[in-house]
Amino acid sequence: MSQDLNAQILNEIKGMSDGQTSIQSKIEAQEATVAEMKSFQAEAISEVKSKLGAMETEMASRRQASAKKSADAGYEARLEKFNAELKGRGKTELKGQELVDTTIAYKQYLRVGENGCSSEQKSLLNNITLTDGGYLPVPEIEQGIIGREWDQHGIYDAISKRSMGSNSLIFNFDDADYSTDSEYLNSLANPTQEHDPVYKQATIGSFEQLWRFEVSRSLLEDVNFNLEADVLAKGRDGSMRQTAAQVAIGDGVNRPKGILTYVDGAAAQAETYQTIQAVESAAATLGWNDILNVLPSSLTDGYLGNASYVMNKNTFYSLLTTTDTTGNFNIANQINFFSGDKLAVSILGKKVRFDAAVPTVAANANSILFGDFEQAYAFGERTGFSLIVDNVTSGMNIKYILRRRNDGRLLQGRAVKALKMHA
């Protein structure tokens, strides 16, 4: 009996062991199934992620292509117009690598000025130099440049501008180059003609120009855009507007002396390099005779080639609306409008620039300037701004101070004439 009991116990133990083995086997099988499911799940997740990544890449590519297409809209037309203008000016059309290199050079010039360009870049820029100053905008960024024909800073756009690396800049020039006896013509006709130079000198200093802003700390913290960047951008824009106005009408006291302040008050004064001659209009009202005859005929011949008109836009509108004896608009056929990316105006082939600082038509007002502003006036400016942030003394505000230095001087008064309206 004892043996039977032992055998029974052994059988039960064996059964339990077999059952345990069966359970273990089932557990292992279950774990294998779970592992397989995890592997499948990981593969599925990886596949979904891959598909999502591919979709995001595709969407980004489409957005980029759309943006590029939008950015490139009109590029070919601008390039064609750009090369047509170069060709019309007797210069080389730009294509391929030369166009790429010129675009890079132009961007470098916009960032750091001419002094920051290499000799090779300056050579490339020479091909897009405009006779009335500056450079022809390259097609890639022309669309982003605001048309300056109507930006109300015509004098600033027309003058000669130089970057200053020190506190002063000295200009030396020959005042006898274009004298009233047309020496430059006589020298062509007469090989024995002698030139007697009369060298003059103009020194440009550097007046300090400050723009101050105070912004509350709470406003800086609470707005949902970069207020500080916006303030600084407005400061730079305001400083440029101030500079443009000073070049036109500044009195020279702690600021540049503007070109209009050099106009002599007396009509038909004698010509001199230090002042701008005022030529009296033919009548009390502005007429086309003043534009087409009085001003061009009074300007010394040597300055006519690069001459342009500068006037207040309202003066131009009054010219457009002058009427004849029958009441019809008396618009001269010599005026030309170009409609495209910009609206440009020229009279007898001479560009019309607009400046808000030039007086409108009134008795004794110098309402129109005509001449070669690049030779007449020079402006020197230190490159860039300096920024001072006062985070201590302004209490609950933060004070920003933008500082720059510049100055301007008349070089050659004969190069420009002013139309003084009849009393």
Residue 297 lies in a domain: yes
pLDDT at 307: 93
pLDDT at 339: 42
Question: Residue 306 sits in which domain range?
Answer: 220-420
Residue 329 lies in a domain: yes
Residue 296 lies in a domain: yes
pLDDT at 211: 79
pTM of the prediction?
0.61
pLDDT at 127: 83
Name residues of the chain where pLDDT drops below 50.
67, 69-71, 143-148, 267, 339-341
Q: Look at the chain and report how many structural domains it folds into.
A: 1
pLDDT at 209: 81
What is the per-residue burial (b if ≥16 Cβ within 10 Å, else e) of 86-109?
Answer: beeeeeeebeeeebeebbebbebb
Element of type H or E holding 419: strand 416-420
Residue 182 lies in a domain: no
Residue 357 lies in a domain: yes
Residue 65 lies in a domain: no
- Quote the CA–CA distance of 198 and 205 in Å, as a whole number: 23
pLDDT at 40: 61
Residue 283 lies in a domain: yes
* Residues whose CB is less than 8 angstroms from the CB of residue 176 and which lie 6 or more positions away in sequence, other chains included: 183, 195, 196, 197, 198
pLDDT at 146: 36
Residue 281 lies in a domain: yes
